Chain A
Amino acid sequence: MSFGRPGSSSILQVNPPDRGSFPLDHDGECKEMMKVYLKCLKEHGSASTPCRGVSKAYLDCRMQRGLMQRESWTNLGLGEETNEKTSGQPS
């Protein structure tokens, strides 16, 4: 234990995120969905609200491919959004 040091004993124990870490998408399986989301952000002046449907679709893509733990949408705050899959999304 270090004396007088802010935070806890190990740097890495300070503040883990709630659900942990996203596994890395080594094969780029959800890359297309990410591009759709970034395009949506550009179109709406980087506002997050109009693109929440797309972010839901991205997280759904991750969950389907085992790149994210299955979680109910209300726990992620996306319960009311419709899952928007715009054109150009590969199946």
Chain B
Amino acid sequence: MAAARARHAQRNRTLLMYSTATILVVLGGTYAAVPLYRAFCAATGFGGTPKTAMGQFEPERLHPVTGARRIKVTFNSATSDALPWKFTPQQKHVWVLPGETSLAFYTAKNTSNEDLIGIATYNVLPDRVAPYFAKVECFCFEEQKLLAGEEVDMPLFFFIDKDILDDPNARNVTDVVLSYTFFKARRNKHGQLEPDAPKDVVDASMGWSEYEHAKSTEESSESKSS
């Protein structure tokens, strides 16, 4: 009788250990999910985030795959209403081969009579092409100051990684759309320049409009203190 009770006690203890361990692992997993998801998005280009570089491109990647089917890259442009700039692509589209570095141009004209600083954001459609769309050099994300009335050409040097041909999801894509949106720049409280537009507008310009967003901690702490 006592032996059976001891066995039960032992089994119960083991069960308790396993349950506790499972609960702890799952709890830890939910906490880890946020930074892991962010790292996943940045690394894989999920949701149309162009994967521009892990540092440098090896020269071997930059050879056109001559037998492959050409991909049509169409250029789109948009400006925020707060920015009186005329911003247009200089070519409607370009047919490129995977692995082939190509040049494209946009032109921006400051139609107001004051010097303005703009900042551009960027998105690639369809989403599944984004991990392969690589910009070597462009005019985005850093401030661009145009003097009053100035018109300037903005080049963009990019390529579509030839690994796209190995991806069964993305290899049949023939139409890619590149969208640039120019915003007026303002200084945020860390002194950095950022787009002068509501957060959802900026997110939409980068292709995040389909996703729900949690309030940022900065916003929620501001609303608590005000």
Contact = CB atoms under 8 A, between A and B. Distances in A.
Interface of A: 1-8, 10-12, 14-22, 24-26, 28, 30-31, 34, 37-38, 41, 45-49, 51-52, 55, 58-59, 62, 68, 74-79
Contacts of B206: 7, 11, 14
Contact of B214 (A2, A10, A18, A49): A2
A41 to B, nearest CB: 6
A60 B101 CA distance: 15
A30 B56 CA distance: 26
Given A41-B94, A48-B97, A25 B153 contact: yes
A49 B103 CA distance: 10
B102 interface: yes
A54 to B, nearest CB: 8
A38 B134 CA distance: 22
B126 interface: no
18 contacts: A1-B217, A6-B41, A6-B211, A10-B194, A14-B141, A16-B52, A17-B52, A17-B135, A17-B141, A18-B52, A18-B136, A20-B137, A26-B147, A41-B94, A46-B92, A48-B96, A51-B103, A55-B103
A5 B214 contact: yes
Given A10-B192, A15-B49, A21-B140, A46 B94 contact: yes
Interface string B187-211: 0001011110000001000101001
A24 B138 contact: no
**Overall SS of chain A's interface:** loop
Contacts of A12: 119, 141, 192-194
B126 to A, nearest CB: 17
Contact of B59 (A11, A22, A79): A79
Nearest to B144: A24
Nearest to B33: A4
Nearest to B71: A48
A22 B101 contact: no
Contacts of B144: 21, 24
Interface stretch (B1-9, B18-26, B62-70): B62-70
Contact of A4 (B34, B46, B136): B34
A17 B136 contact: yes
A76 B157 contact: yes
Given A21-B142, A76-B62, A59 B157 contact: yes
Contacts of A4: 34, 213-214
A48 B94 contact: yes
Nearest to A2: B216
Contacts of B155: 22, 34, 58, 62
